[in-house]
Amino acid sequence: MPDSQVTGDRKSGEFGHVPVLLHRVTELLAAGIEALGDDAVVVDGTLGAGGHTEYLLETFPGLRVIGLDRDENALRGAEDRLERFGDRFAGFRVRFDALDDVLAGSVEPAAGTSNASGIVECVNEHGLAGALFDLGVSSMQLDQVDRGFAYRVDAPLDMRMDSSQGITAADILNTYSHGDIARILSTYGDERFAGKIASAVVKEREKSPFTTSGRLVELLYDAIPAASRRTGGHPAKRTFQALRVEVNRELEALENVLPIVCGALAVQGRAVFMSYQSLEDRIVKKEFAQRVKSTTPPGLPMELPGHEPRFALITRGAEKASASEIEDNPRAAPVRVRCIERIRPV
């Protein structure tokens, strides 16, 4: 979820990179925000540096936003950026699939947040006007060398979005079995040479444990055949993606949050999901496809009352970034955007 400060068409590098598809995301969310008026609340489930939220709050003066992020540094920076909006913003340090706990009032807001309870009460009474999930690792995290997300610099093999808990990428390499390492690389990274890489990792860790990304990158250069290294980007890209997904349980969180978000949407409320890898997009696509189906038994000549679809797809398939957007922000190249709207109450 690449990010930067944006005001209208002005941009600056103060907060990182340009938010991906900023205007299209705003357009997709507008219907629900306008429908609920002064009762409109949007959840930004992947707050990051707060670029999307900032623009939404600027564009819709009556809107309030609940921002979720498990990265303490990201949340603190976003709170500073959004301070001028006062009690229109409430931040929570949680993984985004804890949204149900936030709405239940069982999670304390971040320090400095005011009127969080009022915003939550509004959602519980009227439903969400919108929800945004800009999935994956943020530019800010990639640019923090000591986090271990980037393979182009030597750094500790951490990769935790919440650095206070959970296993690290080094823990995976040093403790997982050959079969589990191969499975992770193949499933989460589409790595053709997963078995060969896993064998090399197990062999190398017998000499000394993995601690830094540089040693892993060197191993990958040796394990992946030269002919394959010449195509498909950096040879470490797929392995680093797979490790990050496993460390942060990203797909598990996505599977958990989809029904929570759909259940919380008001009529005319919309949920937007921005995916950067095929596994994420397939999970979103499958959930949305189920939501827009009629529950009338097949073969009947008419729709049974109460069995009509409660949701409708707003995007036709997965939308992609335009050539101009990609030129402006190369990290937008892989994005796939899907949007769904609630059209009937529960």
Residue pLDDT, tens place only, 124-153 = 999 999 999 999 765 555 555 556 667 777
Q: Is 162 annotated as a binding residue?
A: no
pLDDT top residue among 328 and 338 = 338
pLDDT at 102 over 60: yes
DSSP 8-state class, residue 109: P
- What is the full DSSP assignment across 194-212? HHHHHHHHHHHHTTS---B
- Beta-bridge mates of residue 130: 42, 270
Helix orientation angle between 22-36 and 51-59, rounded to the nearest 10 degrees: 50
Q: Is 134 annotated as a binding residue?
A: yes
Residue pLDDT, tens place only, 205-239 = 999 999 999 999 999 999 999 878 777 678 888 99
Q: Is 50 annotated as a binding residue?
A: yes
Q: Is 290 annotated as a binding residue?
A: no
Q: Is 306 annotated as a binding residue?
A: no
DSSP 8-state class, residue 144: -
Q: Is 17 annotated as a binding residue?
A: no
Residue pLDDT, tens place only, 322-336 = 999 999 888 889 999
CA distance 160 to 51: 22
Which CATH code, of 1.10.10.10, 3.20.20.140, 3.40.30.10, 3.40.50.150, is assigned to 5-139+250-342? Answer: 3.40.50.150
User: Where does 147-248 sit in CATH, by number?
Assistant: 1.10.150.170
Q: Is 32 annotated as a binding residue?
A: no
DSSP 8-state class, residue 62: T
**Any idea where the domains of the chain sit in the sequence?**
5-139+250-342, 147-248
